[in-house]
Amino acid sequence: MSRGKVLVASVLLAVAGAASAELNQEQAERAVETRQSVLHLMGWNMAPLGAMARDRIDFDAERVATNAGRLLALSRMLSDAFAADTRGNAVDTEALDVIWEQPDEFAAKIQANIDAASALVDVAAAADEGAMREAIGRLGSTCGSCHDDFRADD
């Protein structure tokens, strides 16, 4: 698909918005790519924080502050990223149907992630290492809690 067509498809999808919109194959694959991009970047930014909290690498308060801000920005993209309902499409995804079957429960998991990322941003600004370690753990728990219910097992 050319970049022009990709952009048009993205715009149409953004405009369509509603979770109940019928997606063609191109739109559905694009939607999967979008949500996987958000989650990939969450993992990319979370992984070193988890390693710091577990003393596997040196604690770096500046890196925590940077990545916490990124994680908060990414957490706030989750709702839009999962708005497109791909249940009716043949796509390669670990996203379970229950995401769109139980939207309130899924929204609550996202909010917990946003809240935990926001809390980490706050304690990172205060440069309190003990509080950062705890906040990293709580943030990681919100990731796992959502994966338990809404992501296919390996």
Alpha-carbon dihedral of residues 18, 27, 97, 34, nearest 10 degrees?
-90
Helix H or strand E segment including 19: none
Nearer to its own copies, 8 or 101 (CB): 8
Q: Which is nearer to its own copies, 37 or 141 (CB)?
A: 37
Q: Is there a contact between 114 and 146 (Cβ–Cβ < 8 Å)?
A: no
Site for its own copies in 5-44 (CB under 8 A): 6-7, 10-11, 14-15, 33-34, 36-38, 40-41, 43-44
Does 140 help bind its own copies (rule: CB under 8 A)? no
Amino acid at residue number 22: E
- CB atoms inside a 10 Å sphere around CB 14: 11
Q: Which two tokens mark 61?
A: 């308060």
Contact flag: residue 92 with its own copies (CB under 8 A): no
Which residues make up the interface to its own copies (CB under 8 A)? 2-3, 6-7, 10-11, 14-15, 33-34, 36-38, 40-41, 43-44, 47-48, 50-51, 56-57, 69-70, 73-74, 76-77, 154
